[in-house]
Amino acid sequence: MASILKVVSNENPPAVSLTVMQQVLHRQQRRAQELLNANRRAHQRRLNQFQHALKKHQTALTEAVHADIKAHSAEVAVVEWAPIFGALKEAQQLTKQWHKKPRIQRWFSQTPTVRHLGRGCCLVVCAWQQPLAQPLIHCIAALAAGNTVVLKPSHKTPNVARALAHMIELELDPADVAIFLGDARIASGLLSLKFDYSYVCGHNAALQHIQGQWKNAADKLHMQALRPVVGIVDTSADPEQAAKQIAWSRYRYSGQTDSGPHVLLVHEGLRHRFINELKQAGETLYGQTLGRQRYNKAYARLRDNEQFEQIRKLFIEARDHGAKDTIGGHFFQRDFFISPSVLVDVLDSAKIVKTPSSGPVLPVLVYDSPQRLDTLLNQFGHVHCINAYTRNAEELMQQVGNHSDEVLVNPSHSQTAHNLIAPMTTLLERFSVRQPVQPRRKQWFEKLRPPWQERKLEWLQRWLRRLSQ
């Protein structure tokens, strides 16, 4: 029964799977009630166990990413493992502060007035972009906040999903972390249950359907949409530095991380110089000729034929309507290879501009005035993030600040790597609830004791608690 509670696949009938889902939910809810009274050492012990499991299965998980999208191990280390272990270290440091219990108030001590408690049993449903970092970092945040986790990875990266299931089955307690494998039917079955908190990442159509089901419990649901990222390069930008940043963020994983800009807005005065610098940056990363790029092991491939055909159709449709492929434009269906490509003079109405595509194709739109830039941004609507490459940050921020949730000015590699993943402090706030704490004051009989005797009693109580654990 323990193995069934850890890993469930979509090979079972839906009725049986739903029954097992309910069993997992009830078991994890009982565990979550026990964690409400746990001390910070218990929460740190869970994080240390999760860290040990990650290090033990790091090679197997890296090979699974390579099997799904042919990503090089060095690229996986930068895109996946660096954010994961960074988030784990930050969570371990924050756990020491968040799970402090209130003590006796003294005139020289600063006791916390707010205590953070876990929400209970949390559901994490992830997309296939960043197949390791996205689910694991959210699991780390949920565990650090004192929750139990049910994980549903994407079925579009099957090798990564099976590797995660193998790690959880061997190393972790099913009452703390459980995983379900399967397609959208499994995800909809999980979302039909009453979880204390749910995080869902996906496309807008699926999220709108989920939002309608959870309209009576909107505070228990957080949805992360795959919205486009717009890049802006104005005349004051350094074209060489901007081209290096954009090439690395857009072409890593063959554009399948959704962290780099999906559409690039370049000023007319910097157009030709910037395109040349972008071409040199791509050649420096993956090779100067088509043959070197195709057989370069550091350059990833697309996930499957469905994604390959989607990118190819968008590329052909844009080129048929007047766009020029100044860089790349080579497609090989045999191994799902698309060379690093740039389309210039793309129409505003092209599908590749309106539809965020997970591929190494970057459409470039040219503007020549602030009014034209406002017109282009209004066509995109409210986007998720804007990467602004400029030296006049204040002037550009005033113009584009209302069009996006976040504006990154000359973003670094680490900033562009976390498009779908919020900072750890924000994640901990989402996976926890705040409880006001009233520090306990001394009673009259406690004041009669000398200070050294009270301290001795506290040491004795702490020692007895450690023995009971």
The CATH number linked to 339 is: 3.40.309.10
Evaluate whether residue 234 is within a structural domain: yes
**173 and 267 both lie in a single domain:** no
Assign residue 130 the CATH number of its domain: 3.40.605.10
pLDDT, tens only, 192-206? 888 888 888 876 666
What token pair was written down for 87? Answer: 């988030």
- Residues contacting residue 256 through CB under 8 Å, at least 6 positions apart: 69, 129, 300, 302, 303, 358, 359
Query: Which has more pLDDT, 201 or 159?
Result: 159
* % helix, strand, coil for the chain, step of 5: 55, 15, 30
Does residue 241 register a pLDDT over 70? yes
Residue 214: which pLDDT band, with cuts at 50, 70 and 90? low
Evaluate whether residue 467 is within a structural domain: no
Evaluate whether residue 446 is within a structural domain: no
Using a pLDDT cut of 90, give the percent of the chain over it. Answer: 20
Measured over the CA atoms of residue 186, residue 215, residue 118 and residue 202, the dihedral's sign is: positive
Predicted pLDDT at 122: 92
What token pair was written down for 362? Answer: 């970057």
Does residue 60 register a pLDDT over 80? yes
**176 and 240 both lie in a single domain:** no
Evaluate whether residue 450 is within a structural domain: no
Number of domains in the chain: 2
Does residue 112 register a pLDDT over 70? no
Residue 402: which pLDDT band, with cuts at 50, 70 and 90? confident
**309 and 322 both lie in a single domain:** yes
Evaluate whether residue 325 is within a structural domain: yes
Evaluate whether residue 137 is within a structural domain: yes
What is the C-alpha to C-alpha distance for residues 48 and 56, in angstroms, rounded to an integer? 12
Query: What average pLDDT does range 54-70 have in this prediction?
Result: 92
DSSP string, 173-196: -TTTEEEE--SHHHHHHHHTS--S
- Residues contacting residue 169 through CB under 8 Å, at least 6 positions apart: 3, 6, 7, 179
pLDDT, tens only, 301-347? 888 888 899 899 999 998 888 888 788 889 998 888 999 999 998 88
Residue 56: which pLDDT band, with cuts at 50, 70 and 90? very high
Residue 65: φ, ψ to 5°: -65, -40
What pTM value is reported for the model? 0.83
Range of the domain at 271: 229-416
Strand pairing category for 341-344 and 361-367: parallel
Evaluate whether residue 145 is within a structural domain: yes
What is the C-alpha to C-alpha distance for residues 363 and 343, in angstroms, rounded to an integer? 5
The CB density around residue 149, as the number of other CB atoms within 10 Å, is: 25
Q: Which of 58-62, 118-122, 325-329 has the lowest mean pLDDT?
A: 325-329
Pick the last residue of a domain from 368, 388, 416. 416
Does residue 82 register a pLDDT over 70? yes
pLDDT, tens only, 288-302? 888 888 888 888 888
Evaluate whether residue 466 is within a structural domain: no
Predicted pLDDT at 211: 64
